[in-house]
């Protein structure tokens, strides 16, 4: 089995230089690094990670706690995490809390599972992890349920209000502003919204973005056109019918998730309205079904993969004791224009 001395001899460098390269020390030149790594590969050198972890008190292992793997956002975030750790010589240990199966949308009940979550953390700590990425199932403050962590933590799809906490999320307010502005640019002035649950931070942020777009375009805010939903398909059906049966019916409905948006389309069509000819509809989340639904749904795509990568980068930088510039990052979403929106502008 090749040793560091063997590599140093073949690469014509010192053993210290080989050690610096293997430990990713920045003071080594690119040319020397490439030369040493080439010899490492040729000699099929395997580092003694156990010895290294004893020496450095680091294992290059990250614990990933996900509130529920079955929630649509989790797989893409985890894929982003995996991609980054693979590229940087780290590994993950994954733990699924299955909270959606236990409490559904009743987020106020999450505190009941605080002890269970902390037991999960304790188990992860026995695996000698260097830090934790916590993936929420809904954007909210999770500080009350993550209360005894001694390792660095980065939160994504959620956040902690505790001092010196790190989080990576997407910009709800800007995304809603862009979606509303898009409809306004196409000539729509009566734009209704169907929000999520009233105690939801994303609902509040998206409503602010919607309102700001109306203000910036000198349009009146009509309370009648603002309806509170609960993220479910059936609510989209019900509330769209209420809006479309009124004398003050909208020309467009912005639903705050894709499930409610397809409910809006089905509700409209059950009343004889065609989408997009009679009603334009925008969703949020860019769920897989939104591309296959007829008409294909215009929606907001969430940067989930990038959130996973950014959260991992921050955590690894903290582990390596590098300076992290921003504690709270918000990544911009993308408006996906498809077939559920029509322009009212005269050609």
What DSSP string describes 109-143?
GGGGGHHHHHHHHHHHHHTT-SEEEEE-SSSSB-T
- Tens of pLDDT, residue by residue, the chain (347 residues): 677 788 888 889 887 788 778 766 667 888 888 888 888 888 877 665 444 544 555 778 999 999 999 999 999 999 999 999 999 989 999 999 887 777 766 666 666 777 777 788 788 877 789 999 999 998 988 888 776 677 899 999 999 998 889 999 999 999 999 999 999 999 999 999 999 998 899 999 999 999 999 999 999 999 999 999 999 999 999 999 999 999 999 999 999 999 999 999 999 999 999 999 999 999 999 999 999 999 999 999 999 999 999 999 999 999 999 999 899 999 999 999 999 999 999 75
3-state secondary structure of 193: strand
Q: In 10 A of CB 111, how many CB atoms?
A: 13
Question: Residue 83's pLDDT is what?
Answer: 95
Question: Hey, what CATH class is 172-301 in?
Answer: alpha beta
Pairing of strands 191-195, 166-170: unpaired
CA atoms of 213 and 165, how far apart (whole Å): 31
For the chain, what are the domain ranges?
Answer: 4-47, 56-171+303-332, 172-301
CB 213 within 8 A of CB 177: yes
Task: Tell the CATH topology of 56-171+303-332.
Answer: Rossmann fold (3.40.50)
Q: Do the domains 4-47 and 56-171+303-332 sit in the same CATH topology, yes or no?
A: no
Is the full-model pTM beyond 0.85? no
Nearest alpha-carbon partner for 168 in 154, 179, 182, 180: 154
3-state secondary structure of 159: strand
Question: Residue 51's pLDDT is what?
Answer: 47
Cis peptide leading into residue 101 (ω within 30°) = no
CATH of 4-47, one of 1.10.260.40, 1.10.357.10, 3.40.50.920, 3.40.47.10: 1.10.260.40
Question: Residue 144's pLDDT is what?
Answer: 80
CA atoms of 45 and 105, how far apart (whole Å): 50
Q: In 10 A of CB 310, how many CB atoms?
A: 21
Question: Residue 290's pLDDT is what?
Answer: 95
């Amino acid at each position: 089995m090749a040793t560091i001395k063997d590599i140093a001899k073949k690469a014509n460098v010192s053993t210290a230089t080989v050690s610096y390269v293997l430990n990713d020390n920045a003071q080594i030149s690119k040319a020397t690094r490439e030369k040493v790594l080439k010899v490492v590969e040729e000699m099929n050198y395997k580092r003694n990670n156990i010895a290294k972890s004893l020496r450095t008190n680091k294992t290059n292992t990250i614990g990933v706690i996900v509130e529920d793997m079955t929630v649509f956002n989790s797989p893409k975030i985890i894929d982003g995490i995996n991609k980054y750790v693979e590229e940087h010589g780290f590994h993950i240990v994954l733990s699924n809390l299955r909270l959606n199966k236990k409490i559904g949308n009743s987020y106020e009940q999450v505190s009941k599972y605080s002890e269970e979550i902390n037991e999960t953390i304790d188990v992860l700590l026995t695996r000698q992890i260097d830090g934790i990425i916590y993936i929420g199932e809904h954007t909210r403050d999770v500080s009350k349920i993550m209360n005894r962590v001694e390792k660095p933590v980065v939160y994504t799809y959620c956040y902690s209000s505790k001092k010196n906490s790190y989080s990576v999320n997407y910009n709800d307010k800007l995304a809603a502003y862009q979606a509303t502005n898009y409809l306004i640019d196409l000539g729509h002035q009566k734009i209704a919204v169907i929000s999520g649950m009233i105690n939801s931070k994303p609902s509040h942020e998206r409503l602010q973005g919607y309102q700001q777009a109306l203000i910036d375009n000198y349009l009146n805010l009509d309370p009648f056109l603002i309806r509170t939903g609960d993220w479910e398909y059936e609510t989209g059906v019900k509330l769209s019918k209420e809006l479309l049966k009124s004398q003050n019916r909208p020309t467009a409905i912005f639903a705050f998730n894709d499930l409610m948006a397809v409910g809006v389309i089905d509700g409209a069509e059950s009343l004889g309205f065609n989408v997009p000819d009679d009603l334009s509809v925008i969703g949020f989340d860019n769920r897989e079904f939104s591309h296959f639904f007829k008409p294909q749904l215009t929606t907001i795509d969430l940067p989930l993969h990038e959130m996973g990568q950014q959260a991992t980068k921050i955590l690894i930088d903290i582990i390596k004791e590098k300076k992290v510039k921003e504690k709270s990052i918000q990544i911009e979403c993308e408006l996906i224009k498809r077939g559920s929106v029509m322009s009212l502008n005269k050609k």
